[in-house]
Amino acid sequence: MTFRNGLSSLLRPEDSVLVLIDHQPFQLANVNSHDPHMVVNHATALAKAAKAYGVPTILTSVIADRGGLLFPQITDVFPGQEVIDRTFINTWEDRKVVDAVKATGRKQLIIAGLYTEICVAMPVIQALGEGWDVTVITDACGAFSVEAHQVAIQRMIAAGANMMTWLALVSEWQRDHARTAHVAEFVDLLKNHAAGLGIAFLWEQQLLNTPVPGKAR
């Protein structure tokens, strides 16, 4: 096994590309590994973070006329962007998706979707075999059962994938508190999607009488 360590292994927004897979009503209705509300919240936070940090994001669904359109919370982040609708269960067998990823020139491939054990595991394992540096955002995924989610994660780790949660990813993209370019967006993500952490931050600012960074535009 090749160990993932060292500074160069950390994710950087300028090298990242995000693929969001099948965040659709039919799939969400059958998620039993997570609270569905949390899946929507985390996937939305991930989409907003990618937009804030300038990370190209590919949106894809499977047979949307039957499974439903992608969550509006996600597509609203990227108004007017094409959603690539597939017939392939394995996203990485769809040339349109792969070509869109390759066109970004990015090497750090980040994936989240429904279900973890099917529509996430298959493209992750294939992309790893083709030499991609792949990270799965586990809390923006969901599976048919807790066991299915856990087994899928184990399977992808064994294949060489990196596992993270959405807030860990955003923190890694931010990396340095002295980088102020995205502070407003970062704070908005905490306030709107990190629950207690975001509220605690606002409380801290109140107690310290410190201005809260302006709302992201």
Residues annotated as catalytic are 119
Give the 3-state secondary structure of residue 130.
coil
Give which of 129, 201, 117, 200 is closest to 160, Cα–Cα: 129
Alpha-carbon distance 143 to 34, whole Å?
8
Residue 144, H or E segment = none
- List the 16-21 sheet strands across, edge first: 83-86, 57-62, 16-21, 108-113, 133-137, 162-164
d(CA 62, CA 76): 19
C-alpha torsion angle, residues 85, 90, 93, 97 (rounded to 10): 40
